[in-house]
Amino acid sequence: MRAAIYARVSTASQEENTSLETQVENCLGLAASEEWEVVETISETASGFELNRQGILRIRDLLRDKAIDLVVAYAVDRLSRNQNHIGVLLNEVEQADAHLVFVTEKFEDTAVGRFVLSARAFIGEVEREKIAERTQRGKLAVAKAGRLPNGTGIGLYGYDYDKVAKARGVNESESETVLRMFRWASGGVSRYQIAVRLNDEGVLTKSGKKWHPLTIKRILTNEAYTGVDYYGRTKTTVKDGKRTVEERPEADWIRVEGFTPPLIGSELFRSVQRRLSQGGRVNKDGQQKYLLTGFAECGFCGGPLVGASMRRSKTGVYRYYRCRGTAPTTLRPANCSGRYIRAEALEDRVWTDVWRVLSDPRTMVQDLANDLVSDEGKLQEEVDDLRRKVKDCVEQEKRAVALFLSGEVNQDYIEERIRPVRTARERYELEITMLEDQQRVGWDAEYAADALENTSLDLKEGFDSLDFDGKRDVLARLYVRVTAKDMGNVKVAGLVERPTIAQTSASRRGCIPRSRWGGRRRGWRTWWFPRLLCPSQAPRARPAGNGC
C-alpha cells in the first residue's frame, strides 16, 4: 500500500505533543508497523479552516493521479477543522479508491464512520471559533490598556519597539528621515521623487531595501506619526485562499493612547493629505476611467498598457494609454520606447472593430478565409520568428536570475524586471501553439461563422446603450486582447465559445474548445479569424490544473 503522510500545525510555536516532528514520527511508526510504502511526507504550518493549503493541494494532486492508496494523518483535526472540507476530501479519496487513516483514532469507511469523522471535524471547527473569540477578547483588553495587540513585524519606520515599556520608541536617524519625507511632500515633491532622493542618498527601508512610491505613500498617510493609533480599523477575511482587507466603520475603532510618540504635527499631516488628494489623474469628476485597462498590451515590449492623463488648464484633461515600461521606477530606468496613444481614439477603434465582427460575422469570416489561403506559406515564418522571441525572453530571465544570485540586485528589481518578460514569453508561446494547430488541422470557416454568429446574437442586444461597465463586460466575455504600438499599428484578438463540442483531441480530453478570432490590419480593414483553442490556453481565463 502506497501512503502519503500529512502533518499540520497552526503556528510555528505549536505545543510539543502536536508539533510537526511528533506527528510525522507517529505516522511513520504506524506506516512501518503496517509495512506501508511512504511515497511522500508533507508538513506545513497553516490554518486548519482553509482548504486551499499547499499541503492539502498536494495530497489532492496525488489522489487525482492515483499515486497513493492511503492518506495518513495524526488526527482528523490535523487534516481539517471544517466538516464541509472533510466531506470534500472524503469524496476525492473515494474517487481515487484510497482510504483515510489516523494515528489517534480508528475510521471505518461506513455511514457510522463518516458520521463520527464529520462530528469530530465539527468539534474542531467549534473549538477554532472559541479560540478566535478568546483571542479577540484578549486583544480588545490589550488595546484598552494602551498597547497595540497585533504583531507589528519589523516595526514602523521611525521607531523601535521597546519590550520593557511595551510601546514604540523613537529611532533618531529614521525619525529624521520621516520628517524630511513629510516636509518634501508638503512642499509639492512627488512620492516618486522622494523615493529617488532617498535611494540616491543610500537610505534604506526598515527591511533594508530600496524605496518605492507605494512605500512612501504608506508612510505619508499613516496617522500614527502624529501619535494617533487605532485598533480594529480594518478587518481581514480569507476566502478561497485569497486574503482581503476591508475598513470597519469608524464607530468600531478603538483609540490606543500613548503607544506611539508623535514625530510630526497634525497640521503638517493634514497639509500632506491635501497634497496627496490632488493627484494628476483625478479631476473634480473623480478618477479617470480607461476602458481597455487589462485588455491592452504594448506592441513593442508586450508590457501592459495603462492609463495616463495630462492636465491642460484651458482644455481640461487628456487621456492616454502608455506602456508601463515607458516610465522609470525607483529601481530601473524606462525600458520601453512605446508612445502615448490617445485613449478616445484607441477605445473607439477597438469598439468599432468589435461591433463590425458581431454585426456581420459570416461576411467577415468569409473575407478572412479567402485572405488566409494566400498567407498559408507565411505561417512557418511567423512560428520561427516567435520561437526566436521566446528564446530571447528566456535568456533575459536567466540573466536577471544570475544578477540576483550574485547579490548585485534585490528581489524587488527581479520582480520588476522579470514580470513583463515572462508575460511576453507566455504570449509568444500561446501564439506558437495556435499557429501550429492551424498548420496541423487547417481552418474551418463554417465552424468559425457559427461560433461568432451565436455569440453576436447574445451580445448585440442593447449594444448601443451599454455604459462603461457594460462595455468592459462585453470585452471580458469575448476575451478581447489589444496589441498597439500607435494608432497605425493596432491588432485585436479575442475568443468566443462554440455552441457544440467539436470532435477534436481537446474535446476527447473533456475540454470544450473555443474559437479564437484575431486579426491583422490591412488598410482600413481589420481581419478577424477563429481558431480552435482549449479554454486552458485562453489568456486571463486559464483554469488551474487543466493540463492542456
Q: Is the pLDDT of residue 502 over 80?
A: no
Q: Is the pLDDT of residue 518 over 50?
A: no
Q: What's the pLDDT at 265?
A: 92
- Is residue 468 within 8 Å of residue 291, measured between CB atoms? yes
Highest mean pLDDT (candidates 159-168, 205-214, 361-370, 409-418): 205-214
Angle (CA) 365-367-368 rounded to 5° is 65
Q: Which of 131-135, 277-281, 446-450 has the lowest mean pLDDT?
A: 277-281
Residue with more model confidence, 370 or 321: 321
Highest mean pLDDT (candidates 40-54, 102-116, 166-180, 350-364): 166-180
C-alpha cell, 114 = 463518516
Strands 481-486 and 489-497: antiparallel
Residue 233 CB: number of other CB atoms within 10 A?
14
Amino acid at the residue 103: V
Averaged over 415-439, what is the pLDDT? 74
Q: What's the pLDDT at 525?
A: 33
Q: What's the pLDDT at 534?
A: 40
Highest mean pLDDT (candidates 196-205, 308-317, 445-454, 505-514): 196-205
Q: pTM of this prediction?
A: 0.45
Of 10, 44, 7, the residue nearest 27 (C-alpha): 7
Q: What's the pLDDT at 228?
A: 86
Q: Is the pLDDT of residue 501 over 90?
A: no
Averaged over 5-13, what is the pLDDT? 81
- Is residue 148 within 8 Å of residue 158, measured between CB atoms? no
Residue with more model confidence, 224 or 257: 224
Q: Is the pLDDT of residue 149 over 80?
A: no
Mean pLDDT (the chain) is 75
Cell 483535526: give the residue. 77
Q: Is the pLDDT of residue 59 over 70?
A: yes
In percent, the amount of the chain with pLDDT more than 70 equals 68
Q: What's the pLDDT at 28?
A: 93
In percent, the amount of the chain with pLDDT more than 90 equals 20
Averaged over 257-280, what is the pLDDT? 84
Integer Cα distance of 100 and 107 in angstroms? 7
Q: Is the pLDDT of residue 539 over 70?
A: no
C-alpha cell, 130 = 472559541
Q: What's the pLDDT at 321?
A: 94
pLDDT digits (tens, 9 = 90+) for 335-349: 888 889 999 999 999
The torsion angles phi and psi of 218, rounded to 5 degrees, stand at: -60, -35
C-alpha cell, 403 = 544578477
Angle between helices 361-374 and 445-459 (to 10 degrees): 150
Give the C-alpha distances (Å, rounded to integers) separating 439 from 383, 443, 521.
Answer: 10, 9, 22
For the chain, the helix, strand and coil percentages under 3-state DSSP, each to the nearest 5: 50, 20, 35
Integer Cα distance of 151 and 257 in angstroms? 17
C-alpha cell, 140 = 480588545
Mapping DSSP onto H, E and C, the string for 429-453 reads HHHHHHHHHHHHHCCCHHHHHHHHH
- Is residue 168 within 8 Å of residue 220, measured between CB atoms? no
pLDDT band of 172, cuts 50, 70, 90: very high
pLDDT band of 506, cuts 50, 70, 90: very low
Averaged over 417-421, what is the pLDDT? 75
Q: What's the pLDDT at 522?
A: 34
Strand intervals (E) in 49-123? 70-73, 99-102
Q: Is the pLDDT of residue 333 over 80?
A: no
Integer Cα distance of 213 and 38 in angstroms? 50
Q: What's the pLDDT at 236?
A: 73
Integer Cα distance of 413 and 317 in angstroms? 33
Averaged over 199-224, what is the pLDDT? 90
Q: Which of 118-127, 160-169, 319-328 has the lowest mean pLDDT?
A: 118-127
Of 488, 495, 496, 494, the residue nearest 521 (C-alpha): 488
- 290-294 long-range contacts, CB within 8 A, separation 24+: 290/319, 290/321, 290/343, 291/343, 291/347, 291/350, 291/351, 291/468, 291/471, 291/472, 291/475, 292/321, 292/343, 292/346, 292/347, 292/350, 292/475, 292/482, 294/540
Averaged over 476-484, what is the pLDDT? 83
Strands 489-497 and 305-312: unpaired
- Is residue 529 within 8 Å of residue 448, measured between CB atoms? yes
Q: What's the pLDDT at 478?
A: 78
Averaged over 44-58, what is the pLDDT? 84
Residue 178 CB: number of other CB atoms within 10 A?
21
Q: What's the pLDDT at 545?
A: 36
pLDDT digits (tens, 9 = 90+) for 356-382: 878 877 776 666 666 555 555 667 777
